[in-house]
Structure 1
Amino acid sequence: MRPAARLDRWRRRCGFDRNDLRRYVDRAQWRLGLALLGIFLVAAPVLGAPVAGAVHESGVRAERHGASAWRRVDATVVRVADSRGRHRVTVAWTGPDGTRRTGVHTTGRDRAEGERVAVWVGAGDTVSAVPPRTRAETRFAAAAAGAGAVAAVGAPLLGAYLLARRRYDRIRRGMWDAAWARFDDHRIGP
């Protein structure tokens, strides 16, 4: 099919033709739909890109801070205390200067004494079982925030279109009822 024929088909499908069977309500609905689509195509990138960019920047800062403030160590569990499904675990490891150090952290996983675990140690021997933020987490968070912003732009526009469509359908039903009433008034025969 030629490109001009495809464009013409798209034009007619969107309601931009002189079809006598197409009512003003149909044309109004199509124009409203195209206007709302145009608003979405302009507003979504304008609002979504800055949100995704800000979340990505924040994530990169968190990555850099995590890389400088936390270091991974292999530690040994020396004591486990249970408290309502949470386990308070004391771990021991050897510091960079060769001294034995201990720290406490809370985890949801069941640990046994003597078990080897990977933990992240920060300033003042603060212990965390959660690793610092990775590049993949940053990218995912930025993509999710951008998608959320696009959805936040699109949802009200879609809602407005659906409300208008409901109204246009009500008008169309009224027009059909009036047309059938006019048709029913014609008597057949002498």
Structure 2
Amino acid sequence: MDRRRRSCGFDRNDLRRGIDRWQWSIGLILLMAGAAVASVAAVRVSGAIYESGVRTERHEAAVFNATDATVVKVHEASRTRGVTVSWVAPNGSHRTGSYETWHGASVGDHVRVWVGPAGVREDPPRPHARTIGDTTAYAVGTVAATATVFFCAYQLLRRRFDEIRYKRWDAAWADFDRHRIGP
């Protein structure tokens, strides 16, 4: 631990310049600020995403019902297939609807579809695993974006301190060159 402490600039080394200590101090402050901002931002963003996902789950589970349907028409599009299906509603009436699919479908096939007020679709209501996945992805993305901002700020700071350090180094060499060595 002592070696790590010294390598980070937290020691009383006489060869370490004041500007080095300033750089490490400001870098440490940026690290702590970045961790604080990233954690708060990730909690807020992931909380909002999770709540939205749960609302969508509940809404879709209440609105869409699974039913077995028969394919009555298939029309080819450039990348997907338009499928028209027919099914019997719970009240006994015959219904038809269309949806786009990537899967192969032929007339007469029996498929499971989800029926709701917005129409027919082949994918089921949103599962909770997707909500968890989206929440995790947004939390990680928020932390990465925040870390990137603070890392870039540190890189700009480091570049400025390096310029100052090089100017001082050149001035020290110029001052050393003016001294006469010898008799």
- In the aligned structure 2, how far is the partner of 1:73 from the partner of 1:141? 28
Equivalence for 1:51: 45
Which of 77, 81, 89 is 1:95 aligned to? Answer: 89
Q: Render the CA deviation track for 1:34-91: whole Å, top value 9, x for unaligned.
A: 0001111222222211211111011111111111111222322110122333322101
- In the aligned structure 1, how far is the partner of 2:109 from the partner of 2:167? 76
- In the aligned structure 1, how far is the partner of 2:166 from the partner of 2:111? 69
- 1:186 Cα offset (Å): 5.1
- 1:183 Cα offset (Å): 4.2
Secondary structure of the corresponding residue to residue 156 of structure 1: helix
- 1:105 Cα offset (Å): 1.2
Which of 156, 163, 172 is 1:163 aligned to? Answer: 156
TM-score where L is the length of structure 2: 0.86
Which of 74, 77, 81 is 1:80 aligned to? Answer: 74
Equivalence for 2:105: 111
**Which residue identity is paired with 1:50?**
R
Equivalence for 1:135: 128
- In the aligned structure 1, how far is the partner of 2:56 from the partner of 2:125? 8
Deviates more, 1:179-188 or 1:154-163: 179-188
Equivalence for 1:29: 23
Is 1:146 the counterpart of 2:139? The answer is: yes
- In the aligned structure 2, how far is the partner of 1:114 from the partner of 1:89? 11
- 1:185 Cα offset (Å): 4.4
- 1:17 Cα offset (Å): 1.5
- In the aligned structure 2, how far is the partner of 1:73 from the partner of 1:176? 78
TM-score where L is the length of structure 1: 0.84
Equivalence for 1:11: 5
Equivalence for 1:175: 168
What is the root-mean-square deviation in Å for CA atoms of aligned residues?
Answer: 2.2
Is 1:42 the counterpart of 2:5? The answer is: no
Long gaps (5+) in structure 2: none
- 1:131 Cα offset (Å): 2.0
Long gaps (5+) in structure 1: 1-5
- In the aligned structure 2, how far is the partner of 1:41 from the partner of 1:150? 9
- In the aligned structure 2, how far is the partner of 1:67 from the partner of 1:78? 27
Deviates more, 1:111-120 or 1:163-172: 111-120
**Which residue identity is paired with 1:34?**
L
Deviates more, 1:91-100 or 1:74-83: 91-100
- In the aligned structure 1, how far is the partner of 2:102 from the partner of 2:20? 59
Deviates more, 1:89-98 or 1:180-189: 180-189
**How many corresponding residue pairs?**
183
